[in-house]
Structure 1
Amino acid sequence: MSARVLYRRVAGRGHVFPWLKKDSLRAKRLHGVRGETEAEAGERGGTETETQPLQAALPSSYRLHYSPAVYYRAEAEGQVPEVRAEGDEGKQRLVALARPFRRQTNHYSVSSSRRLSSTKNKLLDLAFNGSFERRTPSPPLYRREHQTPDLKLDPRAFQRCRTEYGSMTLDLSRRATPIQSKQAFLLLHKASVLKGRMKASDVTQFLSELGSLYQEQTPLVRSDTRFIMLLRYSVENLRQFTNAELLQVLQAFVRLGLPSTHSMLGLYENELIERASHMSLHELLLAADLWRCLGKQVPQFLKHLYNSVNLYLGQLGIPELVQLLYVMGEGRRCPNHLIQPIEQILMRHLDKLHPEEIGAVSLGLFKSQTSLSEGAVNCIVDKANAVIEEMSDFAMVNVFKLLRFSHLDHRAWLDIMAQEVPRRAPRMDVQGLMHVTLACSALHYRNDSILLSVAERLPSVTQHCRSKDSSKLLWSFGTLGVLPSQCPDLYPNLVEALRQRKAEFQRYPEHLLTGLLGLAFVSQFPEDLLALALSPQFVSQAVRNTQLELKKDFFTLDSTVALELPHWTGPRLASELGEEVAALLWKYAQSDICQKPEVLEAERLLQDLLGGEQFVCKRMILPHTRSVDLEVHLDSTGTPVPVDSSHEATSITEKSISTSPSHTGWQKIEITLTEDLLSQLVNSKKTTDPLALSATSRLPVLHRVEQDEGDRLFNVGVDLSGDLIGSITKPSSPVCTARDFHKATIKLAIQVSNRNHYCYQSQQLLGLHALKRRQLQLAGYRVVELNHWEWFPLLKKSHAEKLAYLHCKVYSSLDYS
């Protein structure tokens, strides 16, 4: 008898030769550390590895060959602590480990399953074997977001606020008396003896008891072929399980760490979908919670759950409501028909919510993108404000997320955050700090107490930043205008964190662009990252992604490099792509920004003031800044010069549409100043508004006028100095002719701003608008701003007052020195 045959006969009975022990133990140690066999790695979508077949060597040299690669996984997938085998327990593990060594073709073909009817198990065979024939390689490591090692937050902490959650959730912190692997293998042996005689209750009992195994030892059980046989019998008995048994089996799967990609779970999902209409509310919520614990997306089951909730609206108490919102948040969807009932029930129970439940509600609404009424959101934040001292950092950040999504500036909450964030920041994790800063950015709320405390904490934890965290932090600080001089260590550390995560940009290109734009807002330009972002390969890969619209960001970044880095010799965006984006931006601007009443009025009055539409060009001087300006040219004497935009490199060829009648010359534009008007302008009422210009005489106090986009108007006046009065009353200047073009031309970019260009209740420009102001000056323009707190109140005033204001703005920008 050959050595090969002898080995198969003996080993087939579960024995291992003494001379195999050394290699087998070595393999077992590897297996214990990594925690998966090749079969299980295949279930997780891992790259299928080819192992060397067992070969019986010549009788003089018996050696067992194996492939160590089978037992090694990438570091990104985590590690399982080493499990040492001793005594009888070690022998049983050794036997369990020896089986996968011999089976190299079908990892799920077990001898005991051959007695199952092939007709009866057609779906079963498909579930266990079909998917493995079509395995796809695992994505490369850069596709997995780096997990923050120091993250110790518990998103499910709210479930410990009330005992009622126990009937609809799985408490992962509690488990039955743990068992050793020796007991687990004994259970598997009993299951293999019963085989086809197992009933649904037997399967439930075996799996439930196995679920008590120590967590670090579960990989040994999952890799055992007897466990796989048990899974096959669980599927065969699927229809025989009661609802309680079915949920008990799913709980066992969670505790055993069954991968979410296991094809068998699809059969369980289908079974639960069929039973959904006959399950109680608590059973439905528990099933949804178990799917969440398994990490499997089950949109069809959740759809049935949401439809069933309509039948149980009267049973929705506080725990049911909070758990439902948690499930909706993790499923990233809330059906429209449930929004109003949920809001009504939430408002009814709001005063009784615990602090952690408020955080869970806020997170659920945020993740599911559920838009409650403004009053309801304010009530939730009011409640959070009242119990802020009892809230965890996690719950506090969730309230911030809700405000960010709702775009509401809850002043009381923002004020208390100015004390709470600096107190908590030294102990907060990277993601919490990122979300606080991002919420401030989204709300345009700059508070140095919050921002500088976050900036002080970040350098010590940036090694844990994902590319997403680094990029959003850079964007937020840049948007709010936090300068590098204010926090010298912040930007270098975040930039270095971006460099450490370069590989992630291949899947998440938006993170690199977000971070670089945030840096550009504060004049920071890391050239190695810019070269990567503008490289043809990176641009081509990013713009092919149909789920993201990144062309505008590429255009803004490329144009910024052209203006602010004149020495740049690195890659640039293709001119065709830039022209395409510029045309799209102008098309949008014509239908939106150009039609705003405050812009149209400024254009019409400037044409009246300067002598005709040829002296005012409404266009995007810098298209990459995504806004419109009114361009005016004056010579050195202040005489208007017709604006010819056809020769401008960044101009739009389409002629601006004017709504005002044309005028033929500056000499025909006159402002009649009567004694009454002059008295009104000079002897105006004083205002104490801090945003008004400082002067000794002002216009009468103006009434607030409602404008588009909810712009806030301020009661301010127009300064009238002796120079301004002289400018208004001086003789008209003749229109410049073609012979005067040789004179130096002063180019003005007149901007009509609104409150969304500034930080909340501040005169601090936001990042993109500060960048535009800086780059207009680099392009040779003098910026003249019609501030919204000055211009909007004047829109209801007389024609003469508006002309006086514009005349002051235009001519005070000239330098006659």
Structure 2
Amino acid sequence: MCAQRLWPSVQALGRGLINNRTEIIQQGVKAYNVQNFNSSHLGQGHQQSHVSGHDRLATTQRITHTARGSFNKVVARSLHSGTVLFVKEFSDTENEHAHAILRSLPAYHATTVAGDNVLNNSFYHQHAPHLTDSEWARCSAEEIADGFIAMSQMCRHSPMDLEDSKHSGLCAVLSNRLTHISDNQLLMVLSALSLWPPTSATTTPNFVALWNALDQSCTERMRRWDMARMFLVADHWFALRLSRISMYNVKMTKVLGRRVTSMAPAQLVQYLFYANLSRKLEPFIVKKEIEKRLTQVLQQISVEELGVIAMGFFKTQTFLKSEALIEAIIKKTEDNLECVSDATLCAILKLLRKSIPVMQWKLMYGLLDSLLPQLDRLNNMCLLQVALLGNDLLVFHPKVIDTIAVKFASDIKVLRLKDIERITFALMLYNYVPPSRPDIFMLIAEALRCPERLLEINHYPKCFVSCVVYLMTMGILPQDLISAALQPSMLNLLNMSRHYSAMGREVIELDWALDIEGPANYRGYRLAPDMRIQLTKQYMGNLPSGLEKTLTHQERLLLEVKDKLSAMLGGVHLVTATHILPHIQTPDLVFCTTNDGEPVALPENFLDLPPASLKYPMECFNGIQWNAVIVAGRNSFIRNTDTLRGNVHMKKRQLTRLGYHVSVVPHMEYNRKSLRSKLGCLERSLKEGSTFVTEGRLESAWVTLKGQAERQEEVAG
């Protein structure tokens, strides 16, 4: 059926699967500066057959490859000159919202500036002088500053181009004379710069000379200012949208970082707002002291101010450690759910998601309970944060996720690709098919095929590929989307960004899944065999030997279960640990039995298979049943349930598809202290999933293991 219908995005993305002939989409990518790419990663070895040059597409919006290797929209700002930055639109909206909160409260009026009134209209009434370069050079520093301020005022009514050559002399002289003007005049010059129309970049000659000189002068004078003046100057840099790249903002947050314990509530809020803009808190700043001060002032600030603080913590990757503070923030949030703004709630939820420790997971579930009645009034961006809230701790609230899925299904056409990717991830994580909208996965697939999504896919190829991988994890394998995800041009897009360096793991998961679960008639793109092996080896986990000093919890658990399983089977030669599925990092245990359930030795041919190969049960050995044991560690189950998380559920499904009888050993039951309890858990797991007849085996295994432990104690003693 799939081969008979035209993919809806055929004109925009390329040709789909038609009459069993595959001509997969080839996304157009402009020539970018790719000097920092790792060309050996994903960019080589892909099949390039039958993809014609005319499939390359012309983009209709500017896509810029930044120095960090990411693709972001170029967003022009209107408040100042040279404010074209590689920024995320929603991040700017968050910052604007946070600043609006500060502006709305009297406590911040003296230390913030309104975006539309950075310099008082009544300050200068006379016409600005139009002097030649040589005439400006003969003026005093104060006259030059006054002239620039007056000329800037004229831009309100008669916009001018700062980069016009007739302004070059003024900009140059002013840049050189800033050290000779007063602090107040310096602040007014900084304000005046915001009145000029935007230039094309932050690096145009006149603009970069001015803002760099202002940055240096402000930074040099900073230490003689009080905190209020520091904040006011920082706010002018925010009005210019240069906080992220200015030296002043970084230095200010560093200087004031030593004074957080004595800050008034409003000062702490405003300090963390500027820390958010610079995305950095210096290592010497004691995060515990900030938490202590926040605990002291929490009752004195509004929930909206708490959102500004939460944004500052989250953007600087400073997560909460104090359990008492976390509880207090949750309580304050729950008490204000009726009136809190969506953007503020988003910021608080982001912080809580990364801060709530596993031992406090019930607090998170309680917060989700409180949020449930509010979901109808929240916007999609906020609903997404609610859906993601429990992800890190695997806390699942079915009613919340189902309600959000219904809303997202109805709004699928207007959701951002990033939002679609995140909600798909949440559903995959919990292996959850929303009962109210079981068709949401079909809608997601159709949204990925939509021609209008092309530009977004080009901006965010990771989101597209991740969506396809999450669908595959749920057992949904749309051939056209998989082929699009594995096409060379898509892989090149992923390769062109260091932000996507871990995407190789998802790519090989997709490719190996085609071998295991893919349709026999699949004729789309695949990874080249040598590239697949290279990536498989790169991402495949180690086989724990027991000799390593620093084993992970999962590795120790695997070896312990293997030890007890071998005792039940009757010998270490009867079980092996191996990567049956080479695309999954954690290995599994394999053993064989006869049709009667008696253990038999594993065939040598199986043991000799290459580590990076897909290990099918060997059908040439008649009368042998193949068994796989998944040792399900700490993060294998949804919190407080016996339900496997999505990735582990996929693993079990794929092992079964290969022909294995699959048992799952749950860590929460197995981790009881007594040896007999551990063997009992293993026996129950084997009875449920394997062909091994366990009657009488537990006691003999217990005797064997008890004897081994006693001999080890004698040797050690």
RMSD over aligned CA atoms reads 4.0
> Where in structure 2 are the equivalents of 1:103-118 lying within 5 Å?
none
Q: Which amino acid aligns with 1:559?
A: W
Contact 1:630–1:749 (8 Å) recurs in 2: yes
Alignment match, 1:577: 531
Assess, with a 3 A threshold, how the Cα gap between structure 1 residues 149 and 528 changes in structure 2: closer, same or farther.
Answer: farther
Assess, with a 3 A threshold, how the Cα gap between structure 1 residues 218 and 421 changes in structure 2: closer, same or farther.
Answer: farther
Alignment match, 2:587: 628
Aligned-partner Cα distance in 2 for 1:437–1:416: 12
Contact 1:422–1:454 (8 Å) recurs in 2: no
Q: Does 1:810 align with 2:686?
A: yes
Q: Does 1:396 align with 2:345?
A: yes
1:607 Cα deviation after fit: 0.8
Alignment match, 1:322: 269
Partner residue of 1:372 out of 295, 316, 320: 320
Superposed CA offset, 1:271-309 (max 9, x none): 222223333322322333332332223363344223422
Contact 2:631–2:665 (8 Å) recurs in 1: yes
Aligned-partner Cα distance in 1 for 2:246–2:605: 55
Where structure 1 has 5 or more consecutive residues not aligned to the other structure, the ranges are 1-71, 82-127, 132-137, 655-737
Q: Does 1:362 align with 2:292?
A: no
2:233 aligned counterpart, secondary structure:
helix
Alignment match, 1:776: 655
Count the aligned residue pairs: 596
Q: Does 1:551 align with 2:509?
A: no
Superposed CA offset, 1:460-485 (max 9, x none): 54444443333222222222223266
Question: Which protein shows a greater Rg?
Answer: 1
Superposed CA offset, 1:589-608 (max 9, x none): 53645864432221111111
Aligned-partner Cα distance in 2 for 1:609–1:551: 39
Aligned-partner Cα distance in 2 for 1:459–1:257: 42
Superposed CA offset, 1:62-115 (max 9, x none): xxxxxxxxxx9979767999xxxxxxxxxxxxxxxxxxxxxxxxxxxxxxxxxx
Alignment match, 1:162: 105
By relative contact order (CA 8 Å, sep 6+), the higher-ranking structure is: 2
Q: Which amino acid aligns with 1:809?
A: S
Alignment match, 2:641: 762
1:388 Cα deviation after fit: 3.1
Contact 1:425–1:433 (8 Å) recurs in 2: no
2:484 aligned counterpart, secondary structure:
helix
Q: Which amino acid aligns with 1:572?
A: R
Contact 1:603–1:616 (8 Å) recurs in 2: yes
1:494 Cα deviation after fit: 3.9
Contact 1:272–1:301 (8 Å) recurs in 2: yes
Superposed CA offset, 1:22-51 (max 9, x none): xxxxxxxxxxxxxxxxxxxxxxxxxxxxxx
Contact 2:599–2:692 (8 Å) recurs in 1: no
Alignment match, 1:564: 517
Contact 2:304–2:344 (8 Å) recurs in 1: yes
Alignment match, 1:268: 214
Contact 1:516–1:530 (8 Å) recurs in 2: yes
Alignment match, 1:240: 180
1:541 Cα deviation after fit: 4.6
Aligned-partner Cα distance in 2 for 1:80–1:374: 39
More displaced, 344-353 or 361-370?
A: 344-353
Assess, with a 3 A threshold, how the Cα gap between structure 1 residues 288 and 515 changes in structure 2: closer, same or farther.
Answer: farther
1:534 Cα deviation after fit: 1.0
More displaced, 806-815 or 464-473?
A: 806-815
Partner residue of 1:281 out of 216, 227, 230: 227
Alignment match, 2:52: none
Q: Which amino acid aligns with 1:766?
A: R
Q: Which amino acid aligns with 1:168?
A: T
2:639 aligned counterpart, secondary structure:
coil
Q: Does 1:474 align with 2:417?
A: no
Aligned-partner Cα distance in 1 for 2:365–2:184: 47
1:251 Cα deviation after fit: 2.4
Q: Which amino acid aligns with 2:462?
A: E
Alignment match, 1:491: 441
Partner residue of 1:518 out of 463, 470, 474: 470
Alignment match, 2:362: 411
Q: Does 1:453 align with 2:403?
A: yes
Q: Does 1:743 align with 2:622?
A: yes
Contact 2:627–2:691 (8 Å) recurs in 1: no
Superposed CA offset, 1:371-407 (max 9, x none): 3323233433333333333321211111110122225
1:768 Cα deviation after fit: 1.1
Contact 2:118–2:191 (8 Å) recurs in 1: no
Contact 1:645–1:653 (8 Å) recurs in 2: no
TM-score by length of 2: 0.73
Assess, with a 3 A threshold, how the Cα gap between structure 1 residues 455 and 422 changes in structure 2: closer, same or farther.
Answer: farther
**How high is the sequence identity, in percent, across the aligned residues?**
21
Aligned-partner Cα distance in 2 for 1:623–1:751: 14
Alignment match, 2:29: none
Aligned-partner Cα distance in 2 for 1:211–1:761: 63
Contact 1:355–1:388 (8 Å) recurs in 2: no
> Where in structure 2 are the equivalents of 1:662-681 lying within 5 Å?
none
1:755 Cα deviation after fit: 3.8
1:746 aligned counterpart, secondary structure:
strand
Aligned-partner Cα distance in 1 for 2:532–2:397: 36
Partner residue of 2:248 out of 286, 301, 304: 301
Alignment match, 2:19: none
Partner residue of 1:753 out of 632, 639, 650: 632
Aligned-partner Cα distance in 2 for 1:458–1:302: 39
More displaced, 325-334 or 509-518?
A: 509-518
Assess, with a 3 A threshold, how the Cα gap between structure 1 residues 580 and 742 changes in structure 2: closer, same or farther.
Answer: closer
Alignment match, 1:647: 606
1:609 Cα deviation after fit: 1.0
Contact 1:620–1:627 (8 Å) recurs in 2: yes
Aligned-partner Cα distance in 1 for 2:686–2:579: 19
Assess, with a 3 A threshold, how the Cα gap between structure 1 residues 152 and 402 changes in structure 2: closer, same or farther.
Answer: closer
Aligned-partner Cα distance in 2 for 1:556–1:632: 25
Aligned-partner Cα distance in 1 for 2:571–2:692: 24
Assess, with a 3 A threshold, how the Cα gap between structure 1 residues 364 and 226 changes in structure 2: closer, same or farther.
Answer: same
Contact 1:629–1:749 (8 Å) recurs in 2: yes
Q: Which amino acid aligns with 2:388?
A: L
1:540 Cα deviation after fit: 4.2
1:629 Cα deviation after fit: 1.3
1:334 aligned counterpart, secondary structure:
coil
1:504 Cα deviation after fit: 4.3
Assess, with a 3 A threshold, how the Cα gap between structure 1 residues 595 and 515 changes in structure 2: closer, same or farther.
Answer: closer
Assess, with a 3 A threshold, how the Cα gap between structure 1 residues 586 and 528 changes in structure 2: closer, same or farther.
Answer: closer
1:759 Cα deviation after fit: 1.9
Aligned-partner Cα distance in 2 for 1:541–1:398: 30
Assess, with a 3 A threshold, how the Cα gap between structure 1 residues 490 and 587 changes in structure 2: closer, same or farther.
Answer: closer
2:686 aligned counterpart, secondary structure:
helix
Where structure 2 has 5 or more consecutive residues not aligned to the other structure, the ranges are 1-59, 64-72, 694-717
Q: Which amino acid aligns with 1:810?
A: L
Contact 2:160–2:197 (8 Å) recurs in 1: no
Superposed CA offset, 1:155-197 (max 9, x none): 3233035323223322226567769xxx99x834667798556
Aligned-partner Cα distance in 2 for 1:330–1:758: 38
1:638 Cα deviation after fit: 0.3
Superposed CA offset, 1:184-230 (max 9, x none): 9x834667798556555555556556666797x67556576666665
Q: Which amino acid aligns with 1:248?
A: M
Contact 2:155–2:197 (8 Å) recurs in 1: no
Q: Does 1:347 align with 2:264?
A: no
Assess, with a 3 A threshold, how the Cα gap between structure 1 residues 318 and 80 changes in structure 2: closer, same or farther.
Answer: closer
> Where in structure 2 are the equivalents of 1:51-66 lying within 5 Å?
none
Contact 1:623–1:650 (8 Å) recurs in 2: no
Aligned-partner Cα distance in 2 for 1:650–1:388: 58
Aligned-partner Cα distance in 2 for 1:805–1:460: 45
More displaced, 605-614 or 264-273?
A: 264-273
1:509 Cα deviation after fit: 3.4
